[in-house]
Chains A and B, each alone.
Chain A
Amino acid sequence: MSLKAKDINEQTRWQDLHMGLHVYEPATSKAFETGEWRTNTPVLDLDKCKQCLLCVPYCPDSSIPVKDGKRLDFDLDHCKGCGICVSACPFGAITMKEGK
């Protein structure tokens, strides 16, 4: 009877919302595409990137995926374009471009 987070929205009736507005599944923020909010977009220059991974823990939205010890390109479904990664990068490998 409990709803999945992706199925809960502002049309959900009071009878169907969970008691106390609890959420009965983990990592539901994945379903919420905060990338929609972005006005500036980070761009990675792979030639300058040394894979030091300093940008990863600085990202407030966990939008820098890491695989096999190397960072991948940005998760733009969730990146809000805050630009913190630009400051965190010691090698000038990340720049911001205007727009999505």
Chain B
Amino acid sequence: MSSLTEIRWHGRGGQGAKTAALLLADVAFSIGKHVQGFPEYGPERMGAPITAFNRISDTQIRVHSNIYDPDYVVVVDETLLHGVDVTNGLKKEGGILINTSLSKEEIRPLLRGYEGEIYTIDAHDVCMRTLGKYFPNTPMLAAIVKVSGVMDTDVFLKEMEASLKHKFAKKPEVLEGNMKALALALEEVR
């Protein structure tokens, strides 16, 4: 049971938080982990706050509830910090990863007394430098892999390349941009 890592994603409808959770499940599966990736479903509207979840474990996962005491939280859109209690239940020993251009010191007061680690990444900047378009889920995926340590980052890049090659067989330029975004995100997360 100690091998279990629980991650909760906070995003806005249309930003790809659900897709990122499913991609994380995919890539963790590819290295032999037991995985769960699922969103919390409701009335789906572009821009509305949404939640998605990952469980990653070395043993079979049977529990089918949402995640209330996550090891890690990923915030795909920093404007959520004002309306959503993103650190609710978050373990002190874990950490929160936030997509922002602000510093950790500037973020801390927005986290309602959370005492654990804060990690930040400017996914907008990473996207613009690599993809030329804003798809925050790609850098956030790489960043959480590094932050949570669920897998080795080199293995992660290799698995992602294989999976994206398959997915974008007819659009090699998309593959290249995404790989650059993933690699840059691994460097930029702090």
Does A touch B (CB under 8 Å) in the complex? no
Binding site for A on B (CB under 8 A): none
